[in-house]
Amino acid sequence: MANAATEELIENFSLFDDWEERYAYLIDLGRKLPDLPEAERTPESKVEGCMSQVWLLSEVEPGHPPVIRYRADSDSQIVRGLIAVLMTAYSGETADRIIATDINDIFNRIGLDRHLSPNRRNGFYAMVQRISDTAAQAMKASS
C-alpha cells in the first residue's frame, strides 16, 4: 500500500497523456531535489549497480518501529527523478512500512516499467535494495 504522497504522485503522472510529458515531469521532480553536499558523496554512500553516479544516505530515528529518512543525489536528471519517486515512497516512513511497500506496483502504476532502459531499471532496483536493506537493519536493531 502506498502512502498518501505516493498516491498523489501516481495521480499526477496519470494526468499526462503520453510518456514524453511523464518523462518531462520525472525530470522536473529530479530538479526539485536538494543537492547532496560534495562531502557526502563518498564511496560508502555510492550505490553500486547504477549506470549513473548515485549516492544514497539514510538517517534512522529510534523508535518501535524506527522511522528512516533518506537523502540521495545523482549526476543524471532522469535518475534524480527516479530518486524523487523513491523518496516520496520511502523517506520518513517506518522501517516496517518501507519493507511492506510494493515498489513494483508504484513503478507499474506510474508507467515506468514500460519506459526505462534495462540499465536504468537495474539502477532503480539497486537503490530500492539499498533502501530495503537499511530498513531491515533498522528493524533488527530495534528489536
49/129 Cα distance (integer angstroms): 10
* 19 in Cβ contact with 111 (< 8 Å): yes
- The reply to whether 50 belongs to the active site is yes
Alpha helix positions (H), 1-143: 4-14, 19-31, 77-90, 95-100, 103-110, 118-142
pLDDT of residue 64: 83
Residue 133 pLDDT more than 90?
A: yes
Q: Is 35 exposed, middle or buried (0-12, 13-18, 19+ CB in 10 A)?
A: exposed
Whether the CA torsion 44, 59, 142, 124 is positive or negative: it is negative
Which residue among the candidates 9, 10, 50, 87 is catalytic per the annotation? 50
Domains of the chain: 4-142 (3.90.1010.10)
* pTM for the structure as a whole: 0.93
pLDDT of residue 92: 96
The arithmetic mean of pLDDT across residues 55-74, rounded, is 93
Residue 44 pLDDT more than 70?
A: yes
Long-range contacts of 113-118 (CB under 8 A, 24+ apart): 114/19, 115/19, 115/22, 115/23
60/86 Cα distance (integer angstroms): 17
pLDDT of residue 1: 66
User: Does residue 52 sit in helix, strand or coil?
Assistant: coil
